[in-house]
């Protein structure tokens, strides 16, 4: 069987008014919290990508009743905090590190044991950062040399914990907070840098009292969740590719509608503005607990910058797109403090470096980042390493390429961005299956 790829022809400009799919992080959390709430929750704007569908399928295996009455809409009849049932087989997380880490926290307080597995890529990703604090809470969590399969639960009563994260991670923070819903007393997580706060916002929407003081987030368990309706905004991480394309090649103003602008997610905007980007947030408003806006992007001359380290955790998923922007900028862009990119769906530092070099871009590889020298982008073949964000980033490089770009191994784009090719064509990109 051949491995799917993209062939992307060079284009001179991108344009249009676009709507990206629903936010993946919020879609995962909406399903999980609705699954253990009391009552019926309706989620609109749900991302029907493979990652979120893996979470949906796992919840159904755990006994949660879920219906999908229309595209982008999901109705969940919550089972309550103690209403999940033992799975008959291992729960399949697909390619989703978010699902595996958050489910580890959610299942830590159950009376039954669960096993979490995934695809070949996910089975190589580190899980001990989640397992360690959960064990301190009294959970039974087993890994194989720190990697999946993850076996979790089995009757241990959880106790609250005050945990200081050694490395900033929204997924670890969220897993501990989810376990804290089942624990006796105050569970508190202190992080070394600000990370995305979708879990905290959504817990409040479900009626859980969550306190945030500085960089410490806490809640008291056991907690009761009450069903509520959730409107999922457009995914900023998906919008990021088109933001970058607009910054370097927009004809007039490119508009991205109804995009989530949670300040713990929008470090890319701050970095691009430091580089000289022209991006405006129009009609800023709230969609439930989350801020949203329409993004208006215009072409600008970008300049290389030293990326401030405090912005790195706020843009960690957007760095593949940012590295493409850096390749199109005047001068040198230096990124450090981004070692977490090494343990995503691929080693994103290595994958982006190899791909940019294949297109004639000069890069220096650091242990925790990249140094990118802006200049001309040629054509050529790049390997996305099965990583959806690498594949989409190099598709955007075509707006400055001198020849076609062949992108190998793109099947996992469907994990986060179903309909990517169609939307890219709508924007004027010359993307076609290879």
Provide the b/e sequence for 328-352 (b: ≥16 CB within 10 Å): bbeebbebebbebbeebbbbbbebb
Strands (E), 39-98: 40-44, 65-70, 73-77, 91-92
Cα(415)–Cα(23) distance, integer angstroms: 12
How many CA within 13 A on the CB side of residue 337? 15
Known catalytic residue at 235: no
Look at residues 288, 281, 334, 289 and name the one whose alpha carbon lies nearest to residue 312.
334
DSSP string, 6-46: EEEE--S-B--EE-PPBPHHHHHHHHHHHHTSBSEEEEES-
Cα(283)–Cα(156) distance, integer angstroms: 48
Tell me the C-alpha to C-alpha distance, in Å, between residue 181 and each of 48, 59, 199, 356.
27, 17, 12, 45
Tell me the C-alpha to C-alpha distance, in Å, between residue 354 and each of 59, 316, 348, 383, 428.
38, 19, 10, 8, 26
Cα(315)–Cα(320) distance, integer angstroms: 10
Radius of gyration of the chain (CA): 21
The residue annotated as part of the active site, out of 23, 119, 197, 317, is: 317
The two structure tokens encoding residue 272: 């691009």
Tell me the C-alpha to C-alpha distance, in Å, between residue 134 and each of 55, 129, 176, 224, 378.
20, 9, 7, 20, 48
Provide the b/e sequence for 115-131 (b: ≥16 CB within 10 Å): bbbbbebbeebbbebbb
Cα(254)–Cα(244) distance, integer angstroms: 11
Active-site residues, by number, are 317
């Amino acid at each position: 069987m051949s491995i799917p790829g993209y062939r992307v022809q060079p284009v001179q400009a991108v344009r249009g008014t676009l709507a990206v799919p629903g936010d993946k992080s919020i879609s995962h959390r909406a399903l999980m919290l609705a699954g253990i709430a009391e009552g019926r929750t309706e989620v609109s704007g749900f991302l029907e990508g493979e990652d979120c569908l893996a979470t949906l399928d796992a919840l159904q295996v755990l006994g949660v009743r879920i219906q999908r009455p229309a595209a982008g809409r999901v109705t969940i009849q919550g089972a309550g905090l103690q209403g999940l049932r033992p799975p008959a087989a291992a729960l399949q997380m697909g390619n989703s590190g978010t699902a595996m880490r958050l489910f580890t926290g959610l299942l830590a307080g159950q009376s039954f044991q669960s096993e979490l597995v995934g695809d070949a890529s996910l089975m190589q990703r580190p899980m001990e950062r989640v397992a360690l604090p959960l064990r301190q809470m009294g959970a039974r969590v087993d890994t194989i040399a720190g990697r999946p399969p993850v076996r979790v639960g089995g009757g241990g009563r959880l106790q609250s914990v005050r945990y200081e994260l050694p490395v900033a991670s929204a997924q670890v923070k969220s897993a501990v907070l989810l376990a804290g819903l089942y624990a006796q007393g105050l569970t508190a997580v202190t992080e070394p840098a600000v990370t995305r706060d979708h879990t905290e916002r959504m817990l409040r929407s479900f009626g859980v009292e969550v306190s945030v003081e500085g960089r410490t987030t806490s809640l008291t368990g056991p907690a009761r969740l009450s069903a509520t309706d959730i409107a999922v905004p457009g995914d900023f991480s998906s919008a990021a590719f088109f933001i970058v394309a607009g910054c370097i090649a927009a004809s007039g103003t490119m508009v991205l509608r109804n995009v989530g602008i949670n300040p713990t997610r929008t470090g890319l905007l701050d970095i691009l503005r430091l580089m000289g980007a022209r991006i405006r947030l129009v009609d800023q408003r709230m969609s439930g607990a989350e801020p949203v806006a329409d993004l208006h992007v215009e072409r600008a001359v970008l300049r290389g910058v030293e990326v401030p380290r405090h912005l790195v955790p706020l843009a960690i998923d957007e760095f593949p797109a940012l590295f493409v922007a850096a390749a199109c900028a005047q001068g040198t862009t230096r990124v450090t403090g981004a070692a977490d990119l090494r343990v995503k769906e691929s080693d994103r530092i290595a994958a982006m470096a190899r791909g940019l070099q294949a297109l004639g871009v000069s890069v220096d590889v650091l242990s925790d980042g990249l140094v990118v020298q802006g200049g001309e982008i040629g054509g050529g073949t790049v390997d996305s390493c099965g990583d959806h964000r690498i594949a989409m980033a190099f598709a955007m490089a075509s707006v400055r390429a001198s020849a076609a770009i062949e992108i190998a191994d793109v099947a996992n784009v469907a994990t986060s961005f179903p309909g990517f090719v169609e939307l890219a064509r709508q924007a004027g990109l010359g993307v076609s299956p290879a």
